[in-house]
């Protein structure tokens, strides 16, 4: 019943508002909602007439960062919308929020052309974009709200891994990334937002407010290059 924890492996990362030292063996990367519905042509955001291209910005930095983190023993968690086909755990207020005018295509409804159902688990719509490679050892958690901690096993998984620090990436910076990060902060995890590995289709002022509040109240902000530089110089 007692498993010896791995020895600490400390690294120090340049960040704002100050540098942070974390234990790689107790750190995970959570990648939020890098899914076709948000980041791909013919996905939900594209169908809504919103320019989805900003949500693709994290793809290239994540392509560089993910292999480096995995090689360092950091767990990668894909935290994605993955609705039940019957939407039985989605209350009316949540369905209304994503179809505010009562018309158009909302959660669980088929997209034109492909027929993929919006953010439904195991559909093309909810799949991670092809450009981001998932490995067998990666962990997948379905979520059903803006925060990935609500009504999901995420917290239990993190605690079983012995996690103390979470690196956050994905979309949208000011929505699902931010609110998953704030809930993690309230639960006692150290939170580091990897700025260039996050993006949003919201106006620029939303990003500015998010970064300001993360730095002021909820954690730290860094860049993927700073993380990779720290991994090249571990301070044991």
Report whether 143 contacts 154 (CB < 8 A): yes
DSSP 17: S
Distance between CA atoms of 34 and 39, rounded to whole angstroms?
6
Distance between CA atoms of 184 and 167, rounded to whole angstroms?
11
Distance between CA atoms of 70 and 82, rounded to whole angstroms?
24
Distance between CA atoms of 222 and 14, rounded to whole angstroms?
7
Catalytic residue numbers read: 33, 143, 176
């Amino acid at each position: 019943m007692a498993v010896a924890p791995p020895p600490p492996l400390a690294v120090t990362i340049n960040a704002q508002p100050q540098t942070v030292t974390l234990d790689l063996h107790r750190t995970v990367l959570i990648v939020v909602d890098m899914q076709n519905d948000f980041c791909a042509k013919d996905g939900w955001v594209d169908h809504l007439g919103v320019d989805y291209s900003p949500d693709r910005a994290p793809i290239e930095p994540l392509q560089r960062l993910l292999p480096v983190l995995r090689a360092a023993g950091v767990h990668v968690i894909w935290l994605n919308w993955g609705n039940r086909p019957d939407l039985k755990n989605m209350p009316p207020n949540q369905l209304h929020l994503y179809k505010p005018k009562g018309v158009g295509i909302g959660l669980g409804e088929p997209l034109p052309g492909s027929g993929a159902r919006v953010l439904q688990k195991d559909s093309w719509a909810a799949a991670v974009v092809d450009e981001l490679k998932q490995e067998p050892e990666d962990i997948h958690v379905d979520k059903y709200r803006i925060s990935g901690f609500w009504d999901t096993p995420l917290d239990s998984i993190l605690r079983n891994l012995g996690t103390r620090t979470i690196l956050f990436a994905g979309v949208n910076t000011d929505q699902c990334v931010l609110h998953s990060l704030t809930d993690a902060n309230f639960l006692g995890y150290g939170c580091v937002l990897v700025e260039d590995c996050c993006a949003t289709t919201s106006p620029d002022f939303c990003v500015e407010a998010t970064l300001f509040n993360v730095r002021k109240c909820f954690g730290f902000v860094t860049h993927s290059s700073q993380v990779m530089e720290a991994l090249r110089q571990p301070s044991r």
